[in-house]
Structure 1
Amino acid sequence: QTIPELVNWAREREFSLNLPTERLAFLLAIAIYNNERIDGEMLETDLVDIFRHISNAFDQSAETISTRANNAINELVKQRFLNRFSSEFTEGLSIYRLTPLGV
């Protein structure tokens, strides 16, 4: 896509960003990880592992990683950086994909 197309796309959808540094780092790490994926799909366990690396880099407590990772994932879904869906092939586990905004 061209820059004018991307600008128009963001303007039409009225996107805004509200991410603390930790969340931005998490989103960037997800984007890098996603580039290595063939299908562009990630499991929640993948995202929690990525969050663990970010949490360690920010010297945050390892005891609350699961809860904080879940909150961070939900926030990225709410802000339309990630799409969440499930598939019969994953037996009820959530699958995540970066949205065009997340990319």
Structure 2
Amino acid sequence: MELLINEIQKQGGQRSRLRAKAFGGAQMVSGLSKIGEQNSAFILNFLEQEGIECEGHSLGGETARQLMFWPATGRVMQKIRGDAPAETASQIQAPADTGNDLELF
């Protein structure tokens, strides 16, 4: 977050004009840690500590969100996705190895 704020300022943005909207943090997979809840608490706390106004948020729950965002105006449209089946930790599988011959180390 600090890197993002610093980059905005490098590009001429004024910190006093920054505004935020926060979305996400759903518990998409039952049986796993509450990382979404922790992330939600982090972002709200971070914005408060940095003095950045949070104009709105939609955090938590158990379903995915689909967002459309217009940066020039700050307008956001959100659709709560109820069509995705809930997964459990035991249902999640690692993707098949589809890599090429490039190895990073």
Structure 1 or 2: more strand by fraction: 2
State if a TM-score over 0.5 links the two structures.
Answer: no
Q: TM-score if structure 1 supplies the norm length?
A: 0.28
Q: TM-score if structure 2 supplies the norm length?
A: 0.28
The structure having more radius of gyration, on CA atoms, is: 2
